[in-house]
Amino acid sequence: MSQSPIQPTNEGEDRVLQREPPVASVSLPATAQLIAHARAELGRAISGQSDATEGVLIALLCQGHALLEGVPGIAKTLLVKATGKLLGLKFQRVQATPDLMPADILGTAILRPGAEGFSFHPGPVFTDLLLVDEINRMPPRTQAALLECMEERQVTTDGTRRQLPAWFTVFATQNPVDFEGTYPLPEAQLDRFLLKIRMTYPSPAEELEVLKLHHAGQSSDPLEGATIRSIPNGLLDRARAEVRQIRIEPELYAYLLAVVRQTREWHALLLGASPRAAVSLMRVAQAQAALDGRDYLVPDDVKRAVLPVLRHRVMLKPEAELEGVDADRVLSDVVASVPVPRL
């Protein structure tokens, strides 16, 4: 159930690995409990999008940010709001527009009646889960204001550093087909996103369930009629600790690095993956193993993590783009060229 469990193919298409629900592992009890609870509860409000749902959970397990890409109306906002309700976290939404200023999201100093001097009024970034809708409609100055928030989880205004909540996570959305009035995200900001999750149209059976959910509900918002139970306190922290302890054999360190370094020499790529990308690939591969109920890494975990972790971190050469090749196709070829270690 993830955008991330995707296996590269020679055709460059995203193929979802069909896998059984994780078996409750003695060594990973918190992760198994978290995933089972999340699947059951989020299914009350969202039909389909299981791949994207698991991708969002992986981002939370790895304490990373995620970029959700998809056309309007496929439940991107609903997924983030439902996740916030599942975790019992505070949720804020920012609708990006070309005239949005940094102070609109970070906060500003204001003069309150009867008060001496100015006081800081926090912006929407002072929350647990922040949804930035259509992030590529933000002007570059405002996009840059998010860099410090995403990397250091703090805001600096008027020379004062203010810490963001410990749970602070950014989920940003963008429409892949609408380019009018948009500003491409710079590579420095794209690199701050742990995952780029592509959301697609639901299957016919899933879309039928969407119609039934809305017909049975009393309002147009599926969350209002859904009773989503929050996870127990401390469960996510324990699951994160388990993910960090996933064993990685020396051969898999070498395999992971070989994939990353191959992107820097690949003929169709102008820019390969950075060392930060290698760390992200390792963390997401560990989460993939945990979702399968294993406390050790296997090569398939790395393969499933490659597309969502690297697709937004590499840059194609102009001639490759003219040939209609996309990043997923190139990364699939890169993975196929690297020998898989025998463990």
Task: Give residue 98's identity as a one-letter amino acid code.
Answer: P
Per-residue pLDDT, averaged over 40-56, amounts to 84
- The phi and psi torsions of 122 (rounded to 5 degrees) equal -65, 145
Both tokens assigned to 229:
């139970």
Paired residues of 316 in beta bridges: 269
Which H or E element spans position 198? strand 193-198
Which residue's structure tokens are 């294993």? Answer: 294
- Which of the two residues, 112 and 317, has the higher pLDDT score? 317
> How does pLDDT run across 161-174, given as a tens digit for each residue?
999 998 899 999 98
Paired residues of 121 in beta bridges: 108
303-330 in b/e form (b: 16+ CB < 10 A) is bbbbbbbbbbbbebbeebeeeebebbbb
Query: 171-175, 258-262, 332-336 — which is least confidently predicted?
Result: 171-175
Paired residues of 197 in beta bridges: 68
> How does pLDDT run across 142-200, given as a tens digit for each residue?
988 888 899 899 998 888 899 999 889 999 998 877 666 678 888 888 899 999 999 98
CB-CB contact of 41 with 229 (8 Å): yes
pLDDT of the residue at 26: 55
pTM, whole model, 2 decimals?
0.85
> How does pLDDT run across 75-115, given as a tens digit for each residue?
888 898 899 889 888 889 999 999 999 999 999 888 777 66
CATH code of 6-246, in short, is 3.40.50.300
